[in-house]
């Protein structure tokens, strides 16, 4: 059975995908790396500060990629994007490989402006963090409620302690 966080991520990805298909101005909200970030955030336990650090790193990486891409310097721009992003990941200890992938998105999506992709990346990742936080609080509340009203679990817990 799917846990509540997994369901939240699947539904969030579906919503972002639907929005990107339905509203042309929101096309860049959905990017494949969003799925990688979703799984990363699901598979590891992060403190809010760490999550926000990763979101900020992804935003910075998308900005770096967009600016170098729009400089129209070709392969050199790609090389500088990769080198700067990897340096940033190492310097700030951003243990999230999808950050490099986000930096490279402009090279296949061809954004119209330097801010389009960065805004889309930040919006969708902040939305993901908010959704995960809300569903985490919901799951925690459900767990407390279950523990309060489930005499078998309370008895088993007391026997184990």
**Residues 97-145 pLDDT 10s:** 899 999 999 998 887 777 888 999 999 999 999 998 898 888 888 888 8
Enclosing H/E stretch for 67: helix 48-70
Residue 77: per-residue pLDDT: 96
Residue 67: per-residue pLDDT: 95
Secondary structure of residue 17 in the 3-state scheme: helix
Give the Cα separation of 158 and 123 in Å (integer): 45
Give the Cα separation of 85 and 74 in Å (integer): 17
Q: Mind listing the pLDDT tens digit for each residue in 50-103?
A: 999 999 999 999 999 999 999 988 899 999 999 999 999 999 999 888 999 999
């Amino acid at each position: 059975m799917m846990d509540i966080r997994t369901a939240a991520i699947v539904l969030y990805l579906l919503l972002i995908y639907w929005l990107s298909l339905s509203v042309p101005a929101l096309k860049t909200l959905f990017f494949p790396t969003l799925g990688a970030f979703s799984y990363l955030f699901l598979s590891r336990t992060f403190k809010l500060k760490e999550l926000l650090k990763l979101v900020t790193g992804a935003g910075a990486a998308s900005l770096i990629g967009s600016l170098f891409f729009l400089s129209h310097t070709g392969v050199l721009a790609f090389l500088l994007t990769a080198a700067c992003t990897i340096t940033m990941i190492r310097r700030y200890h951003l243990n999230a490989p999808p950050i490099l992938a986000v930096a490279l998105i402009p090279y296949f999506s061809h954004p119209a402006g330097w801010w389009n992709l960065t805004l889309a990346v930040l919006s969708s990742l902040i939305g993901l963090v908010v959704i995960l936080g809300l569903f985490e609080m919901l799951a925690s509340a459900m767990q407390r409620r279950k523990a309060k009203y489930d005499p078998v679990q309370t008895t088993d817990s007391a026997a184990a302690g």
